[in-house]
Amino acid sequence: MKLKHLEYHLSNVSPFEKPKILLEQYVTPPHIAAYMLHHIQFEHGDITDKIVADLGCGTGCLTIGTATLDASMVYGFEIDSDALDIFQENMQQFELTNIEAIRCDILNIPRRFENFFDTVIMNPPFGTKHNAGIDMEFLKIGMLLSKKAIYSLHKSSTRKFVKKFVENLGCKVEIVAELKYNLPSTYKFHKKDSVDIEVDLVRVLI
Amino acid sequence: MKLLTHNMLSSKCLKNVNVGYPLSIKVEEMITSVVDFNPEFIARIIPKLEWNALKQAVNEVGKDSCLPNNLIENFENDEDFLKKVHHVLLEIEIVNGCLVCPETGRSFPINNGIPNMLLNEDEV
Domain boundaries, chain A: 3-205
The per-residue pLDDT for A131 is 72
CB contact under 8 A, A110 and B12: yes
CB contact under 8 A, B35 and A98: yes
Q: What is the mean pLDDT of each run of 10 residues along chain B (124 residues)?
A: 98 92 97 96 97 95 84 92 96 97 97 95 87
Task: Name chain A contacts of B45, Cβ cutoff 8 Å.
Answer: 51, 72-73
Strand pairing of A73-78 and A51-55? parallel
Task: Name chain B contacts of A116, Cβ cutoff 8 Å.
Answer: 8, 48
The per-residue pLDDT for A190 is 62
Run of H or E residues at A131: none
Q: Check: CATH 2.160.10.10 for A3-205?
A: no
pLDDT 10s digits, A91-133: 989 989 999 999 999 999 999 999 999 999 999 987 766 677 8
**H-state helical runs in A69-172:** 81-94, 134-145, 159-168
The per-residue pLDDT for A29 is 84
Q: How many residues does chain A have?
A: 206
Sign of CA dihedral A206, B1, B4, B8: positive
Closest chain A residue to B11, measured at CA? A110
The per-residue pLDDT for B41 is 97
Q: What is the CATH number of domain B3-119?
A: 2.20.25.10
Task: Name chain A contacts of B38, Cβ cutoff 8 Å.
Answer: 49, 72
Q: Chain A interface residues facing chain B, Cβ-Cβ under 8 Å?
A: 49, 51, 72-73, 75, 79, 81, 84-85, 88, 97-98, 100-105, 108, 110-113, 116
Residue A198 phi, psi (nearest 5): -85, 125
- Residue B69 region by backbone torsions, left for phi larger than 0, else alpha for psi between -120 and 50, else beta: alpha
Domain extents in chain B: 3-119
Separate counts of helices (H) and strands (E) for chain B: 4, 4
Run of H or E residues at A31: helix A30-44
pLDDT beneath 70: ranges in chain A = 128-130, 184-193
